[in-house]
Each structure stands twice: as C-alpha cells, then as structure tokens.
Structure 1
Amino acid sequence: MKKIGIFFGTDTGTTRLIAKKLMTRVGEEFCAKPLNVNRITADDFMAYQALIIGTPSYGEGALPSAELGVKNGSWEDFLPQLETLDMSGKTIAIYGLGNQVKYGDRFVSAMRHLYRFFKDRGATIVGDWSTEGYEFTGSDAIIDGRFLGLAVDNKNQAMLTEARLDQWAEQIREPLKQSAGISETEAA
C-alpha cells in the first residue's frame, strides 16, 4: 500500500486535476491514487498517517456539499464520518481552489474549515503558503499573514499554477514522508 493518501472534494474536476499533479510531484512511488471523498469511507481515510487534501470554495467560502449542488456529495457530507476520530499523529497538507477576482472577498476560504476540523482532532497541518502574488480582498484561510495551505487560482493565474505546485510539493514532501514512515531506502 502507498503511504501518502490524497483526497479531494470536487464537482468540476479541477481539484482532482491538481490532486493528480501533486501525486506526481510529491512522488508516485509514495502517493496513493487521488480519490474523491464522495467515494471513500472513514476507514479509507484513516488508513494514512500522511495526507494531502484539497477543496474548492463554494458560496460564501463553504466546503462543497450535496446541499450546495454537488451531485454525489463532498467534504461537508463526508466529514461527519470522521467527527469522533482522533487524528493525532497524522500530518495533513491542504490545498484550496478559488477565484480571487470573482470571489476576492472570500478567496479559498473553504480551506479554513478543513484546517479547523483536522487541527481540532489533533492532526499536524503542514504546507502554509505565502499570500504574495495574489490579488484578493479577503480570505478566512489566512493565519499570521499566510494561507493555511496552497492557494490555487486556475481561472486568473493559471500561468503560475505549475510553479506553485512544484514549490509546494517540495515544501510538503519531507514532512509527509516522515509522518508516513518512509525510510531513506524507500525514498532512494
């Protein structure tokens, strides 16, 4: 079994595409195939000590859900399965998709919901990201002047996405490998 899980919530496929690109960049030899949270169980999620999770922001910065029009459900529908579980020992990197022009007052705000959920259950969150180079007026996904994870705007800054993915994958790779117990010999 691969040691780093990648899970996403999406209805349009862009969050899935970013998950696949991150799998390649972090290391296909370590990362499991990215899966939509509407297709997994709590046991599937809990099987990993190291995870990359992604979400777009809906409405006023909400997580995607069946209630908000996601056909087969998403994060908001899946998280209740994990509410009573201890996430201590897990290391999680979060990425979020948004549109900083059209929704600049709540850019990638849904990341904050995932951050709080997993942090409150004991997980270590890695992969905070600079707000430099973005043009938005507000976001709930910022602590101490930095995004809680990678912010992706494929609508207005698609030309920057690949470089951002490269840099972020480099940043999160070692903490995730360490949490997953990937040895130097496995990494070689």
Structure 2
Amino acid sequence: MRQIGIFFGTDSSTTRLIAKKIAKAIKARHGEGVVAKPLNVNRASADDLLAFQALILGIPTDGEGVLPGKANDTDEAAWLELLPQLDGKDFSGIRIALFGLGDQENYPTHFCDAMMDLHSRFSKAGAQMLGGIDTGGFEFKCSRAVVDGRFVGLALDQHLQSLLTDARIDAWLDEVLPLLLEVCEAPVPA
C-alpha cells in the first residue's frame, strides 16, 4: 500500500499542528503505515508531491487573503515559493484534499482564501480535488474558497472556533479518507 502524503506551507506552528492532528487521526483509524510524516513545503519540491497518489495539503491564509511565503513576510519559504515549481507538472490521477486555516473575526472578507489558490493550481495541473465542506457553523462575510455554498476543503479557525477543530477533522476524514485510500490501495501500474 502506498502512503498518503501530507504537506503544509507556513512558518507558524498552527498549520503544522493541524497537519500532525490529521496524520494522528488517520493513524488511529488505519495504522502507522498509511500516512507519511507531515512535511513543510519549504523542505519539499513538486517532485516530492508527485511521489504520492493521494495528498493532503494545508495552507493558512495570511492577512487579507495572501499566500504564505517570503514575499508576504513569512520568515521561511512556503507555498508562494513552491507553486511556481508546479508549472508544467502533471498531477493527473492524483487525489488531493485540502485544509485551510483562517481568522473569521479579524479577516471576515478573506476567510481561508488561500485554499482556493491551491485548489485552482492543482486542478489546472490535472489533480482530482476532494473534500469540500459546508459553510454552516462559520461566521465570515466572504471567501474565495467557497464554491456553491461549500468550502473547497476543510476550513478551520483556530482563533475563534478551536474547540470545533477535532470534530471537523473527524467528519472531513469520514468523507475524504476512503477516497484517498482507494488510490493508495490500487495496484501500481507496470
């Protein structure tokens, strides 16, 4: 069985913490070998992502809807530096589920916006995107990451709704994990 890769891009600890929570929840359900250790994209390349058939990618939305990266005042490289490496790469046949962090209170008009940047980029590269959640239970004004009343991935707010995070992760995994495991369990083409 191939593993699910988990990659996140940020220089703060919150997105890394959520990536680890997701990995721990997957291990609790299916054992140690199912998921790779979460890795910050500042230590990864596009080819590292392409080594997996199933990916969980995490991103915070910095400030007013910007991607994390050096040009946007993060201390280390992040998604802003990795995304250009995706140009010309083919993610066809790869399933991707996203999680995004935002702040509904301080940035209610940009809540989890950056998740849409990943969704758009990987969709254009041929990936099958999974795991949107309903916007119910959130208190924001608008988000680029909402399509037809649903976020394009798992939206989380660790500032305002941290007590809901574990339940939201579990409900999201109920939906996306079987679809991710399906491609991990498929025979490797000769």
- Please, what TM-score do these two structures have when normalized by structure 2? 0.92
Matched-pair contact (CA < 8 Å) for 2:2–2:184: no
User: For 1:32, what is the secondary structure of its paired residue?
Assistant: coil
Matched-pair contact (CA < 8 Å) for 2:10–2:69: no
Confirm whether residue 130 of structure 1 aligns to residue 108 of structure 2: no
* 1:36 corresponding residue in structure 2: 40
C-alpha separation in 2, matches of 1:22 and 1:2: 17
* 2:115 corresponding residue in structure 1: 111
C-alpha separation in 2, matches of 1:149 and 1:65: 21
Matched-pair contact (CA < 8 Å) for 1:3–1:182: no
User: For 1:86, what is the secondary structure of its paired residue?
Assistant: coil
Within 5 A, what are the aligned runs for 1:37-76?
A: 37-76=41-80
C-alpha separation in 2, matches of 1:114 and 1:74: 12
C-alpha separation in 1, matches of 2:46 and 2:74: 20
User: For 2:80, what is the secondary structure of its paired residue?
Assistant: helix
C-alpha separation in 2, matches of 1:181 and 1:151: 27
* 2:12 corresponding residue in structure 1: 12
> Runs of 5+ in structure 2 lacking a partner?
none
C-alpha separation in 2, matches of 1:87 and 1:62: 24
- Letter of the 2:106 counterpart: K
C-alpha separation in 2, matches of 1:182 and 1:159: 36
* 2:148 corresponding residue in structure 1: 144
Offset, 1:60? 2.3
- Please, what TM-score do these two structures have when normalized by structure 1? 0.93
C-alpha separation in 1, matches of 2:26 and 2:153: 15
Show CA shifts across 1:92-130 (max 9, x none). 000000010110111000000000000011100001001
Offset, 1:72? 1.7
- Letter of the 1:154 counterpart: Q
> Runs of 5+ in structure 1 lacking a partner?
184-188
Offset, 1:179? 1.8
Residue number among 85, 92, 97 corresponding to 2:96 in the alignment: 92
Residue number among 174, 178, 181 corresponding to 1:174 in the alignment: 178
Across the two proteins, how many residue pairs are aligned to each other? 183
- Letter of the 1:59 counterpart: G
Q: Give the RMSD, CA atoms, in angstroms.
A: 1.4
Offset, 1:87? 0.7
User: For 2:59, what is the secondary structure of its paired residue?
Assistant: strand
Matched-pair contact (CA < 8 Å) for 1:26–1:170: no
Identity of aligned residues (%): 47
